[in-house]
Amino acid sequence: YKSLNRAQLSYDYLHTNSTTHEFLFGALAELLDNARDASATKINIFTIDDESLRGGFMLCFLDDGQGMSNEDAGDIITFGKSTKRTQESQIGMYGNGLKSGSMRIGNDFILFTKKGPTMTCVFLSRTFHEEEEIDEVVVPMPSFDVTTRRPLLRSPRDKEKHQLEMKLITKYSPFKNEDDFQAMFNRIEGPSGTLVIVYNMKLLDNGIAELDIRSNPHDIILSNPEGLMPERKSFRAYTSVLYVDPRMRVYIQGSKKVQTKRLANNLYKPRVYKYSSSRFKHRSEMDLKKTQEDAKSAENKAREAESKARLVNLEMKLAASTNKDQRAELRKIQQQAAEYRKDAMLKKMAAERKLKLVREPKTLNFVFGMNIDNRQQDGMFVYNCSRLIKMYQKTGPQADGGVFCSGVVGFVDVPYLVLEPTHNKQDFADAKEYRHLLQAMGEHMLQYWKDINIADQGVSKFWENFGYISSNWKEMPSMDQKFVRKRAMQVPVAIQCDLCLKWRILPFSSNNLGKVFPDDWVCTMNPDPSHNRCSAPEEKLNMPEGVLKKAAKSKEDKE
């Protein structure tokens, strides 16, 4: 279809696309997701002061992940292209996070990445487009050899292209000469990794930068964040709960690691409820069908290519051809067939995996518990494929106000097969299905509320017991030693080992009250002798399982 029209991208779309992130930290999180998906063990989010740039600094994301080859980097500039889609552990799926996220934070970005023998830079600059009034989206992408630092050129024309790219980068990026530019690659110390630098930060309407990096040297906070929950104003607090299973160490401003938080460990009387719905099954069956069709069509394609290769091979043998061109052509056909075969195998395996999944019962785990440390911070935390999407969502009795179920925190991790996020990852693509989930959580929360029997013993009495003396719901609990101790005894300290990433639950000790644990806390520091080595298995969360008692299931569930 070479002769037909193709959809194009105009420069303005960079802005359109970025408006999707109304929550600024959500834009930053896209860059963390990318590092996580690249199997990084570490990411550092830091700033470099530069008064010549809008906002006065650039924001950098440096990870030690697998990096990108220059071909991989080419995928960045194809909107919607994501090779992660097929792997279930990957968060990225829309092929848009880097673009939408970075363009929400600032006007320009420059990315440096290292993988194997190549280093590549991707330069997406709105300043460049604006200054030169370019309506298309033009992206310089110079590549270099890791050892020689020489540009990777495949043809004499590439040399010209490379020079033009470097001219634009040194003109419009903060790196005004080749040395400053190359120095950025040096920041990636290991054999692979990626450094994304966003600059010319977006400003608030009152002219100051949206991100406040000065007030707290160990955090990035929203400018003017009055009255928000901690995870909505402090990037450190947000990243501490961003993933259900934090596998990557996050550093903010270089020095201080983000102490990850596992919600279930921070709650009083946590309980888990299994929830299953026929709706999930339908969706996974549809998904299976699609995967099976894909596998079948890939198989056909592979077979066709293989018989073509055999045919050409046979013809050449019969003709006893030694023509070079013909042999090169044959090799090409054979390579193509081998590639198609590989693709068909992968797709077949994917279909088999899916078939197994469909047969498994589709259940979600709803976990509920009481937030006795700060009762006003209640609501549902909804994760999608381990990544936080919604927080502090009120449902069931919480949505109506009153003390009924107030103080309860719930969470759930929903796989992609059940719900798919919107492309800003701050909501779910299907409002109705999401509402269905929240409603189910509300019903289970009510059951939890009955199961832990708080209403019977008296709600105010329950809270008074933990130091909530005031009748004002929003007042913080008493910091009287007696109450601090009482709360701490009910909610043990859980901490993630910096080496093996296992969670360890510390035995109660008065010494731990208000204690700040070191960033590099490791298993050997654990006073619990049965869990003081990284080889010791993680303690199972000792959560009782509750059961929803309901005379009749809701109409929707019955369908």
- The least distance separating its own copies from the CB of residue 436, rounded to whole angstroms, comes to 8
- The least distance separating its own copies from the CB of residue 282, rounded to whole angstroms, comes to 5
Contact 11, 137 (CB under 8 A): yes
Half-sphere exposure of 421 (CA within 13 A, CB side): 27
> Which residue lies nearer to its own copies by CB, 47 or 120?
120
3-state secondary structure of 137: coil
Integer Cα distance of 248 and 117 in angstroms: 25
Integer Cα distance of 43 and 64 in angstroms: 7
- The least distance separating its own copies from the CB of residue 8, rounded to whole angstroms, comes to 4
> Which residue lies nearer to its own copies by CB, 114 or 233?
233
> Which residue lies nearer to its own copies by CB, 14 or 272?
14
3-state secondary structure of 20: coil
> Which residue lies nearer to its own copies by CB, 401 or 458?
401
- The least distance separating its own copies from the CB of residue 137, rounded to whole angstroms, comes to 4
- The least distance separating its own copies from the CB of residue 136, rounded to whole angstroms, comes to 6
> Which residue lies nearer to its own copies by CB, 428 or 521?
428
Which residues touch 437 (CB under 8 Å, ≥6 apart)?
364, 382, 412, 414, 418, 419
Integer Cα distance of 438 and 490 in angstroms: 28
- The least distance separating its own copies from the CB of residue 173, rounded to whole angstroms, comes to 15
List beta partners, residue 410: 368, 380
> Which residue lies nearer to its own copies by CB, 177 or 224?
224
> Which residue lies nearer to its own copies by CB, 431 or 489?
431
Tokens 């609990």 — which residue? 477
Which H or E element spans position 143?
strand 143-145
- The least distance separating its own copies from the CB of residue 47, rounded to whole angstroms, comes to 20
Integer Cα distance of 447 and 548 in angstroms: 6
Output 283-288 pairs: Cβ under 8 A, ≥24 positions apart.
283/417, 283/418, 284/354, 284/357, 284/358, 284/362, 284/417, 285/358, 287/354, 287/417, 288/351, 288/354, 288/355, 288/357, 288/358
Going by DSSP bridges, is the β-strand pair 221-222/408-414 parallel, antiparallel, or unpaired?
unpaired
> Which residue lies nearer to its own copies by CB, 81 or 515?
81
> Which residue lies nearer to its own copies by CB, 100 or 239?
100
> Which residue lies nearer to its own copies by CB, 13 or 508?
13
- The least distance separating its own copies from the CB of residue 79, rounded to whole angstroms, comes to 5
Cα–Cα distances (Å) from 176 to 60, 137, 139, in that order, read 17, 22, 18
Tokens 């960045």 — which residue? 76
Q: Is 298 left (phi over 0), alpha (psi -120 to 50) or beta?
A: alpha
- The least distance separating its own copies from the CB of residue 141, rounded to whole angstroms, comes to 5
- The least distance separating its own copies from the CB of residue 25, rounded to whole angstroms, comes to 10
The closest alpha carbon to 169, from 147, 191, 199, 145, belongs to 199
